[in-house]
Amino acid sequence: MVWVSATAGERPWPNARRSGDVETPGASALAGRDRSDAASFYGSGGYPGSMTDPAELDVTIVDGYVDEPAHFGVPPYVSTYPRYVAGALVDAGVPRERITYHTIDALRDERNRWRTVEDADLLIYVGGMTVPGKYVGGTPAEPDEVRELAWTADGTTVLGGPVRFGVGEENAGGIETERDDLDFDFVAKGDVEAAVYDLVHGGMEGFGDRMRDNDEIARWARAGAFVIEQHPNHPEYLIAEMETSRGCPYRCSFCTEPLYGADPSFRTPEAVVGEVAALADHGARHFRLGRQADILAYGGDGEAPNPEALRALYGGIREAVPDLGTLHLDNMNPVTIVRWPEKAREGIRVIAEHNTPGDTAAFGLESADPVVQEQNNLNVTAEECFRAVEIVNEEGGWRPGDEADPPRLPKLLPGINLVHGLQGERAETFEHNRRFLERLYDAGLLVRRINVRQVMAFAGTDMSETGAALADAHKREFKRYKREIREEIDNPMLQRLAPPGTVLEDVHLEYHRDGRTFGRQLGTYPLLVGIPGERPLGHTIDVAVTDHGYRSVSGVPYPLDVNAASMAELTAVPGVGRDRAGDLLVDRPHESVPDVAGLRRFATARTVGGDD
């Protein structure tokens, strides 16, 4: 319904189709005008109706979740978008108590929540997926669900977040996407938080597509921290995605991150730490520095590492939240490591000193095929990526604790991202990637996880013309190759990463299936853990690993009490087996852990009173 300028080479947004008493000009009415003309048009009273006092607005924010190359917000994660929008609203004059926040899953589960969607003076939707994924903690909104929000709302509606880059028929890889306003009144083609601030601060008159700056985010991030208290996972099972920068100096063919700018705009350590402190004041204890293209480049020139900036950032977070539960990161560019190895080593040591175990630095190799690398402007070769994996293993791959303690997950390991369906992909591409992964394993290196997916193509990227054609053509080969990686690489790598007896602390129990309870730790790419029996959900326990799947593990509560453990739990312990487990049950109570192979690594013997 509102015109938003389209940059060169981009398809314009369609006119909104929402019906009602008020109409504002679409693209045809403002044809030929530039962005300043549009601002002048709306600023001069182009949007009909009287000025609205922000203090009298009832605002509802709906979080449909985001998954971008450098930003994640599917539960248990909460992205920056709803927090920054809430802060912008407060800064514009909307009282906190008049701001309601819902996740899309909460709206699915409780239909009575839809009343606040219908009755809101302003409905703001944030969401969008620009990389495909599979999710346990939440299900991202589908396009039809987002349209239903627009149809339900009686007030003004605003759509924002990465959804502005386009939507497909489903949230999956290997599909075509196109821009769609999804029947909302306004689409924030720039930053949704800036658009909302300008709209509300202007009395609901005027709408633009500008990008916000770091001074605004310094205000809005703190002011909007309160909204996490309305998240269904708050406080214990919620991890806040933190932004340190946006944009990327490299331009891989498929990636939407450069659309935020070619020169990363770094927030100061003081600004990020201040936001962490504000979130902690509202109950947050788990944080991930995930909103950046390359954590090692933080605070520098955009490419070279700056270890001192990392020390100020990580040290400040540790000081601001003494009872910190999780501190993880996401993206790290392997080319930064090989071009500046000594500074990179120092930066990795700083991270491993301050983070919590099980952290993962995602490496965007994308393809080990030199033909694909050249045609898609990928910035790291397979040989460079291999060397970067070695360096992270050397500096961050150590396990915390003493030798007498049960093993924990390493402090920091790389993850490998591989994308298929890129320009130039051929049969040899699959073999190049397979050989690279085999070489990593044969060299005795550790990789936290391997992410294999098919490309999503968006307008504004170099992949927009190719689209999903190659992904479709190679779908059968892709499925076979992905299965082989899971069986031949993932499973043995997982056994190396988390051998039997490895203790995973604070596993949150999430759901039941087939008589078992499944849970995960909070953090970057956490392992899914299956435990025998149906335990109460929502609780947190320590688990010792007993067996391995392709990307998940089995385990038992740690330490396992031999005087209270179930038959299934005892049987799951390596070396015990069903017959010995039966004998252990019959011979209860035990004053000490019986001398059964391997049992003492997992178990203790408690008296009836509960003492060891």
Q: How do 516-520 and 503-513 pair as beta strands?
A: antiparallel
The predicted model gives 411-421 an average pLDDT of 94
Q: Identify which of 429, 282, 260, 446 has the alpha carbon closest to the alpha carbon of residue 363.
A: 446
Q: Of the candidates 602, 328, 99, which has an alpha carbon nearest to the alpha carbon of residue 593? A: 602
Higher pLDDT, 454 or 582: 582
pTM, to two decimals: 0.88
Q: What is the pLDDT of residues 2-31, one digit of tens each?
A: 323 333 333 333 333 332 333 333 332 323
In the block, residue with structure tokens 């209270």: 564
Residue 421 backbone phi and psi in degrees, to 5: 95, 10
d(C-alpha 188, C-alpha 208), whole Å = 7
Element (H, E) at 360: strand 359-366
Asked which of 434, 469, 497 is the last residue of a domain, the reply is: 497
Q: Is residue 9 part of a domain?
A: no
Helices and strands (DSSP H and E) totals, the chain: 19, 22
Phi, psi of 284 (to 5 degrees): -80, 135
Same domain, 55 and 152: yes
* Between 350 and 425, the higher pLDDT residue: 350
Residue 226 lies in a domain: no
Name the pLDDT band for 263 (thresholds 50, 70, 90). Answer: confident
Q: Is the same domain home to 486 and 512?
A: no
Averaged pLDDT score across all residues of the chain: 87
Query: Which segment of 308-312, 322-326, 393-397, 452-456 scores lowest on mean pLDDT?
Result: 452-456
What is the span of the domain harbouring residue 173? 35-216
pLDDT at 278 exceeding the cut of 60: yes
Helix H or strand E encompassing 352: helix 341-354
415, part of any domain: yes
What is the arithmetic mean of pLDDT over 511-532?
96
Q: Are residues 273 and 392 in the same domain?
A: yes
Which of the four pLDDT bands, split at 50, 70 and 90, describes residue 199?
very high
| 442: nearest Cα among 489, 494, 409 | 489
Average pLDDT value for residue range 62-91: 95
Digit-coded pLDDT (tens) for 331-371: 999 999 999 999 999 999 999 999 999 999 999 899 999 99
- 367 and 416 within one domain: yes
Q: Distance from first CA to last CA of the chain, Å, rounded?
A: 69
pLDDT at 472: 82
My answer on whether 149 and 169 are in the same domain is yes
285-327 per-position pLDDT tens digit: 999 999 898 999 999 888 899 999 999 999 999 999 999 999 9
- Please state the φ and ψ torsions of residue 519, each to the nearest 5 degrees: -155, 175
Neighbours of 267 (CB within 10 A): 24
Question: Which residues are CB-contacts of 333 (< 8 A; sequence separation ≥ 6)?
Answer: 250, 293, 294, 296, 297, 363, 364, 379, 380
What local confidence, expressed as pLDDT, does residue 63 receive? 98
Looking at the fold, whether 480 and 510 belong to one and the same domain comes out as: no
Domain count, the chain: 3
Lowest mean pLDDT among 2-6, 253-257, 298-302, 453-457: 2-6
What pLDDT does residue 255 have?
66
- Cβ-based neighbours of 349, under 8 Å, separated by 6 or more: 395, 396
C-alpha dihedral sign at 569, 572, 573, 575: positive
- Domain boundary among the residues 477, 497, 517 is at 497
pLDDT attached to residue 206: 79
Any domain includes 72: yes
Cα 539 to Cα 342: distance, rounded to the nearest angstrom: 43
Residue 531 β-bridge partners:
517
Q: Which of 449, 479, 497 is the last residue of a domain?
A: 497
Average pLDDT in the 533-541 region? Answer: 96
pLDDT at position 536 over 80: yes
Range 462-466 average pLDDT: 72
Encoding tokens for residue 246?
Answer: 């946006």
The predicted structure's pLDDT at residue 15: 36
Average pLDDT in the 144-150 region?
95
List, as one string, the DSSP characters of 198-217. Answer: HHHHTTS-----PPP-HHHH
Which whole number is the average pLDDT over 253-279?
84
Both 533 and 444 in one domain: the answer is no
Whether the per-residue pLDDT at 191 is higher than 90: the answer is yes
Asked whether residue 11 is domain-assigned, the answer is no
> What's the confidence (pLDDT) of residue 532?
98
- Residue 10 placed within a domain: no
Same domain for 159 and 90: yes
CATH number of residue 333's parent domain: 3.80.30.20
Q: Is pLDDT of 169 > 70?
A: no
Q: In this structure, is residue 609 part of a structural domain?
A: no
Nearest CA to 447 among 393, 524, 512? 393
Residues 465 and 523 in one domain: no
More confident residue, 83 or 39: 83
User: Domain check: are 415 and 509 in the same one?
Assistant: no
The answer as to whether 489 is a domain residue is yes
Per-residue pLDDT at 151 exceeds 80: yes
Q: What is the pLDDT of residue 21?
A: 31
The pLDDT value given to residue 177: 59
- Catalogue the E-assigned strands of 69-145: 71-72, 77-78, 99-103, 122-129
Asked if 121 and 159 sit in the same domain, the reply is: yes
CATH of the domain at 150: 3.40.50
Each residue's pLDDT tens digit, 37-61: 333 333 333 334 468 899 999 999 9
Report, in angstroms and rounded to the nearest whole number, the Rg of the chain calculated over CA atoms. Answer: 25
Q: Quick one: 473 and 513 in the same domain?
A: no
The lowest-confidence range among 65-69, 166-170, 353-357 is 166-170
